[in-house]
């Protein structure tokens, strides 16, 4: 048996496949870009394969190979479906000769990447970013949910490792039989950028908030699966018992107009990033994340680092971060439960301050370098586990080409 591969042996060639890498900024995309930047900084080689558009949302990290794609129906061309590994993308992958394949979405391209890895004796690992099987319920297609879950079970069980971002999400995957070897890939936060010191009363005033207003923040893509309908219902119910509640919505997306019509008194700040985003968080008073589709909740962690108490759903994303009754509240994902917790915080300023201090302290446990170093350790373990039985079972692409030429 060969000796296990460790960081001291050699650097890695990592091929990453995602359904989105730079054309819409969201939590998974931020995590993947942070990972790629870290890998390159540590001397590893990385190629990213993903759909692209002519108007990317930001400057991405690393080298990106464009996958042919089409707009997904029903989302106003916001997200795209990759059409698989063909032509230039396939040649780039063959030439790269990856040591490990990291799949970030179980879509058509991800399925092709998984088959490629199995064909050429390369270990495939997958990060688990979203409970896609919950999406149908937001589009009146709940009957599809079972079939999507079955597919996800089939897909992830063919991977060497599956990396959910939280212990609670790992528990859900184990419960549902999704993944054979489940390892944690947590998320990090930059506590220097997201900081209570960035609270800006002049910014609040410029956006129409008064000194005694209690500002409830929503941060994220403005799409149905983020629970915007529940946010509106819960906020309006809480306002009956806390009239000084005001809503701040940070983000953009296809449902912005719908959201604005449902919540006419809210301030819509649009898409923000960096210090502008950090100022918006710190200038709010409560963070409210009603989503049940997220597997971690980067926005919740950023809000906690900014010193905000949070209210979130009793689901994997929020439950993994919010310590109920200490840094905020988790509630059953319905408007009445959320409204009760929002009103409690709105009417108790000392409680908000106490929860906010505890949230800031809790967020300090999440360092990007530490969690990414652990993930790279998982890569080496996947290589070591895979090597004895399957790693050299099939020829690599360039070996096959030489054989045909001969």
Token pair of 82, please?
Answer: 């990759």
Question: How do strand 45-50 and strand 124-127 relate by DSSP bridges?
Answer: unpaired
Q: What is the pLDDT of residue 397?
A: 54
pLDDT of residue 295: 55
Is beta strand 100-103 parallel, antiparallel or unpaired with respect to 13-17? Answer: parallel
Sheet containing strand 310-313, strands side by side:
267-270, 245-250, 214-219, 286-289, 310-313, 328-331
Q: How far is CA 233 from CA 253, 281, 333, in A?
A: 20, 22, 12
The answer, yes or no, to whether residue 303 has pLDDT greater than 80, is yes
- CA angle at 249 for the pair 243 and 253, rounded to the nearest 5°: 145
pLDDT band for position 10 (cuts 50, 70, 90)? confident
DSSP track, 141-189: -GGGHHHHHHHHHHHHTTSSEEE-SSHHHHHHHHHHT--SSB-------
Dist CA 179 CA 128 (whole Å) = 10
- Across residues 113-139, what is the average pLDDT? 85
> If you classify domain 13-188+367-405 with CATH, what class do you get?
alpha beta
Q: Is 69 exposed, middle or buried (0-12, 13-18, 19+ CB in 10 A)?
A: buried
Q: What is the pLDDT of residue 72?
A: 78
- Assigned fold of 196-363: Rossmann fold (3.40.50)
For residue 123, pLDDT over 60 is answered with yes
Residue 399: band (very low, low, confident or very high) from pLDDT cuts 50, 70, 90: very low
Question: Helices 167-176 and 145-156 sit at what angle, rounded to 10 degrees?
Answer: 100
- For position 173, what pLDDT does the model report? 92
Model pLDDT for residues 249-274, shown as the tens digit of each residue:
999 988 999 999 999 999 999 999 89
Q: What is the rounded distance in angstroms from the CA atom of residue 35 to the CA atom of residue 70?
A: 26
pLDDT of residue 392: 42
- How much is the pLDDT for 338? 97
From residue 65, give the alpha-carbon distance in Å to each of 27, 52, 91, 358.
21, 9, 11, 43
Which 3 state secondary structure label does DSSP give 49?
Answer: strand
Q: Where in the chain is the domain with CATH 3.40.50.2000?
A: 13-188+367-405, 196-363
Instruction: Dump pLDDT digits (tens) for 127-177.
Output: 998 766 676 666 677 788 888 889 999 999 999 999 998 888 898 899 999
- Bridge partners (DSSP) listed for residue 270: 250
CA distances from 205 to 199, 201, 271, 372 (A): 12, 6, 19, 39
């Amino acid at each position: 048996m060969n000796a296990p591969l460790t960081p001291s042996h050699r650097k890695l060639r990592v091929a990453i496949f995602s359904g989105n890498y730079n054309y819409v900024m969201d939590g998974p995309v931020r995590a993947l870009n942070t990972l790629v930047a870290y890998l390159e900084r540590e001397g590893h080689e990385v190629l990213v394969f993903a759909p692209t558009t002519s108007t990317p949302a930001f400057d991405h990290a690393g080298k990106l190979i464009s996958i042919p794609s089409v707009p997904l129906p029903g989302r106003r061309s916001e997200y795209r479906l990759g059409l698989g590994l063909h032509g230039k993308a396939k040649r780039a992958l063959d030439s790269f000769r990856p040591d490990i394949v990291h799949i970030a979405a179980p879509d058509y391209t991800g399925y092709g990447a998984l088959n490629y890895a199995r064909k050429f004796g390369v270990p495939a690992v997958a990060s688990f970013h979203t409970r896609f099987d919950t999406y149908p319920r937001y589009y009146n297609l709940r009957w599809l949910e079972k079939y999507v879950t079955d597919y996800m079970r089939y897909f992830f069980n063919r991977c060497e490792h599956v990396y959910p971002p939280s212990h609670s999400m790992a528990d859900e995957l184990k419960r549902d039989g999704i993944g054979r070897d489940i390892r944690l890939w947590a998320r990090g936060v930059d506590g220097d950028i997201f900081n209570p010191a960035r609270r800006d009363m002049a910014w609040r005033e410029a956006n129409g908030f008064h000194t005694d207003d209690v500002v409830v923040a929503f941060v994220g893509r403005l799409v149905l699966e983020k629970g915007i309908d529940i946010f509106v219902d819960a906020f309006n119910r809480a306002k009956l018992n806390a009239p000084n509640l005001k809503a701040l919505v940070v983000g953009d997306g296809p449902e912005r107009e719908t959201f604005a019509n449902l919540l006419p008194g809210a301030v819509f700040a649009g898409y923000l990033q960096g210090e502008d985003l950090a100022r918006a968080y710190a200038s709010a008073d409560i963070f409210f994340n009603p989503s049940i589709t997220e597997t971690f909740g980067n926005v919740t962690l950023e809000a906690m680092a900014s010193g905000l108490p949070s209210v979130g759903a009793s689901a994997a994303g929020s439950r993994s971060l919010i310590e109920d009754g200490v840094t905020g509240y988790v509630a059953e994902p319905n408007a009445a439960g959320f409204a009760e917790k929002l009103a409690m915080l709105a009417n108790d300023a000392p409680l908000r301050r106490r929860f906010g201090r505890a949230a800031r302290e809790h967020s300090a446990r999440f360092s990007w370098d530490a969690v990414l170093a652990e993930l790279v350790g998982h890569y080496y373990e996947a290589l070591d586990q895979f090597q004895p039985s399957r790693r050299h079972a099939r020829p690599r692409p360039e070996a096959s080409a030489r054989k045909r030429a001969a």
